[in-house]
Amino acid sequence: MKLSAIPFGVTDWSAVPPERKLGETGWADWRVCQFGEIRVRLLEYSPGYKADHWCSKGHILLCLEGELVTELKDGRTFVMKPGMSYQVADGAEPHRSYTPGGAKLFVVD
């Protein structure tokens, strides 16, 4: 990832309107800002949210609140708690997430 042609800026995430996306169960509210080729998101997952697809997009994800369980298609699972992050490359291990009690995440991809 190369960050270029992005002037200094401040993002007030409370002013970015959310877009609700339904999961297999529950919902996710996405607040999205695009900076050149870099997408930055603040995600809020409802309790019981489960992604409706396997994702192959690369991300850097930081768990801000709650607990997120990320499972890889090969069967491994990882529990993310506040202050924990993960990183995965485009086209690497397909993954999907769920949360029993809800979660808030900061994601760069």
Task: Give pLDDT, residue 23.
Answer: 97
Task: Give pLDDT, residue 54.
Answer: 96
> What angle (nearest 5°) sits at the alpha carbon of residue 32, between those of residues 30 and 33?
170
Q: Give me the residues of the chain with pLDDT under 70, please.
A: 1
Domains located in the chain, CATH noted? 19-108 (2.60.120.10)
3-state helix, strand, coil in the chain (%, to 5): 5, 50, 45
Amino acid symbol at 42? L
Task: Give pLDDT, residue 40.
Answer: 97
Angstrom distances, CA of residue 89 to CA of 2, 21, 26:
14, 23, 26
Task: Give pLDDT, residue 2.
Answer: 76
